[in-house]
Amino acid sequence: MARDLLGPRLVQREAMLARPDLDRVASAAEQDLAQRRVYSPDSMLASELEDLIMVDWEQHIAPTPGTYAVELTATAAAQAQARLTEAVREARAQGASWDAIGKAAGMTRQSAHERWSKLKN
């Protein structure tokens, strides 16, 4: 029943208690957070245990914010490339030369031709 009420958070807590770097002990008297020995009579954690787990979690995800920005930028770049390719296709369909397309794209006509000449209309 508690699992249904708490959902993924309960599952995450249970997984954290099973971590090899945390030792679960049988009684509150044995708990020593400095030694990473934790006591929890059930899957509900005391706030200091949640704080300990959150420190671990924050260290675990620390590289993610930087890579998330890279992922977003790469996605945006791929979308921009797709729009550029479509714009070149439309320009060629309207009779634009490779020289004009190259200038508009900031490259030589030869580079533009090599990059997009195989596009199908």
Task: Please tell me which residue, 71 or 9, carries the higher pLDDT value.
Answer: 71
pLDDT cut 70: percent of the chain above it: 79
Distances (CA, A) of 29 to 3, 6, 18, 35, 69: 27, 28, 20, 13, 45
Longest Cα separation, the chain: 82
Task: Give yes or no for a contact between 67 and 35, defined as CB atoms under 8 angstroms apart.
Answer: no
pTM of the model: 0.50
Q: How do residues 50-91 score in pLDDT, each as one tens digit? A: 777 787 777 777 777 678 788 889 999 999 999 999 999 999
At 19 the pLDDT is 53
Looking at the DSSP bridge assignments, the partners of residue 24 are 38
